[in-house]
Structure 1
Amino acid sequence: MSLLAPVSAPSQDLPSLIDRATSMLLGAKTAAEVLEAREVAGLAYDVAKRAARLQRAKNAHDDLVAAAHRAQAHALEIEARAKRRLADEYDAAQARGEVARGSVRTDIVGDLNDVRPATAAELGLRRDEIHEARIIRDAEAADPGIVRRALDDRLERGEEPTRAALRKMVVDAAMRGLRPQRSASRRNPLHVPPTPEQAAWRHVTGTFRAFAEWASEGNLVLARKGMRQARDTPFHDLDAKAIAQGSAAFTTIKEWFDAR
């Protein structure tokens, strides 16, 4: 990741600034070029913001103010795209060891040693700028298109699309992406949960059906042999007691059927 080259002051013509920022970002191949595109987009935003305020001060027609707001939103969208690219470029540079991480000391290597990774300040970046770039990237990952929708929402309501308003929207989206998502419910919307009585009876019938399906002649022969082998085991008496209790319960339920 190379140092940011100074951006020459472009023309103050708003459409030209926006076109230049767009083409610069599309053609950017390095982090420095992405940063330059971001700077031009930021300048376009500032020019559009001043134009909108000037139109309001002159009590200009709503169409003129709306046009300035649209240009402002366009500049913000380009700036946000540049910030997303910046976050990816910066994180990749850190992974390659070209940029120092926040927890790594860079003052323990001499200035003449080329292996010392560059710091954010040396690259012309502030920590808060990197943080914001990552938030925008994460917000778009969590909710694709959130930046454009947030800007369009402001425009549709006749409100000015500002950095502060956009930041709030993308922060909310990024936080939603960090929260664990509940899996979609597969519950049948027409399902009516059983009453306690119905649930109890289903348990009885389910137990009977499962045992009846298992109790083939072959399985019963195996079970009888297993019973004989288990007579000397520590829990044989408990097993015998449970079988006796289950048999009594089965007999009671059978009597219910016979009495119908």
Structure 2
Amino acid sequence: MTALAATSTPSQDLPSLIERAASMLSGAKTAAEVLEAREVAGLAYDVAKRAARLQRAKSAHDDLVAAAHRAQAHALEIEARAKRRLADEYDAAQARGEVAGHGGGRNFKVANGNVETTTADLGLRRDQIHEARQLRDAEAVDPGIVRRTLDERLEHGEEPSRAALRKMVVDAAMRGMRPQRRASRRNPLYVAPTPEQAAWRHVTGVFRAFAEWASDENLALARKGMREAGDTPFHDLDARAIAQGSAAFTTIKEWFDAR
């Protein structure tokens, strides 16, 4: 029985369902486990979406609708991360010759090395692989674009939806926001960054963006928002993410101090 099959939607607490999806993705070691995490995140998204619609139908207080929308955003972010992982897993399988170059036909290995599963058995379609690659490429070129897209929707009181993310990907593609995987034909001197260089650029990009945002005024607003969010269902998830990010920032600062 899969993790998704074991989930009972009516009795499942939504924050717990989202946390479960995040935990599954964090611990996923195989493509099959990433797929299960994606399915649980997708289920959480659907539950939150229905909750938001129900609250609107009841003319509920805006805070209740906003809480449901925040749950949608959390679930959608996890689902997007899972899709990006799947794109990497699938491309790596192609490079190893386990998946045919046209996207089907051959085998995609999962946890048990003696068992091979076709892409159809794993529930992957070519359009899903294409979407996963687009999400990955947009995020690689502009780190945090998925989260920013969702946050912008929330700030404007709009529903964070899969359609909004798809539009973001299309807009990114139209702006040429795709990572170069080989030397540019227009610039023969171009050298693609190594994985180490790309990782460091990601770190410095995140730090610069946060440093530019973190004015006294913005931090004061954030502190007030933190206090207001203390009673929301997802405050614990936010606190955990901040703690994890803080620990990572401290580690990087120690690298500099040790130079």
Q: Structure 1 stretches of 5 or more lacking a match?
A: 107-116, 184-260
Is 1:19 the counterpart of 2:16? The answer is: no
Q: What's the counterpart of residue 133 of structure 2?
A: 134
Distance 2:104 2:131 in 1: 21
Letter of the 1:45 partner, please give it: Y
Using the TM superposition, give the Cα deviation of residue 166 of structure 1 relative to its aligned residue in structure 2, in angstroms.
Answer: 1.2
Distance 1:132 1:13 in 2: 29
Is 1:155 the counterpart of 2:151? The answer is: no
Cα deviations across residues 59-98 of structure 1 (Å, max 9, x unaligned)? 0000000000000000000000000000000110111111
Distance 1:29 1:10 in 2: 21
Q: What's the counterpart of residue 90 of structure 2?
A: 90
Distance 1:16 1:164 in 2: 25
Q: 1:21 to 1:6 in 2, by over 3 A?
A: closer
SS of 1:102's equivalent in the other structure is: coil
Distance 1:81 1:103 in 2: 21
Letter of the 1:18 partner, please give it: I
Q: What's the counterpart of residue 165 of structure 2?
A: 166
Cα deviations across residues 216-256 of structure 1 (Å, max 9, x unaligned)? xxxxxxxxxxxxxxxxxxxxxxxxxxxxxxxxxxxxxxxxx
Report the identity percentage: 79
Using the TM superposition, give the Cα deviation of residue 125 of structure 1 relative to its aligned residue in structure 2, in angstroms.
Answer: 0.9
SS of 1:151's equivalent in the other structure is: helix
Moved more, 161-170 or 45-54: 161-170
* Superposed CA RMSD: 2.9
User: Following superposition, which runs of at least 4 residues in structure 1 exceed 6 angstroms of deviation?
Assistant: 179-183
Using the TM superposition, give the Cα deviation of residue 179 of structure 1 relative to its aligned residue in structure 2, in angstroms.
Answer: 9.2
Using the TM superposition, give the Cα deviation of residue 120 of structure 1 relative to its aligned residue in structure 2, in angstroms.
Answer: 2.5
Number of aligned positions between the proteins:
173
Using the TM superposition, give the Cα deviation of residue 174 of structure 1 relative to its aligned residue in structure 2, in angstroms.
Answer: 3.6
Matches within 5 A, 1:1-260: 7-11=4-8, 12-102=12-102, 119-175=118-174, 176-178=176-178
Tell me if structure 2 keeps the 8 A contact 1:5–1:36.
yes
Which entry has the higher C-alpha Rg, 1 or 2? 1
Letter of the 2:150 partner, please give it: L
Distance 2:55 2:19 in 1: 22
Tell me if structure 2 keeps the 8 A contact 1:99–1:118.
no
Q: 1:179 to 1:34 in 2, by over 3 A?
A: closer
Using the TM superposition, give the Cα deviation of residue 123 of structure 1 relative to its aligned residue in structure 2, in angstroms.
Answer: 2.8
SS of 1:177's equivalent in the other structure is: coil
Distance 2:98 2:2 in 1: 18
Moved more, 55-64 or 174-183: 174-183
Using the TM superposition, give the Cα deviation of residue 54 of structure 1 relative to its aligned residue in structure 2, in angstroms.
Answer: 0.3
Q: 1:160 to 1:119 in 2, by over 3 A?
A: same
Distance 1:18 1:55 in 2: 19
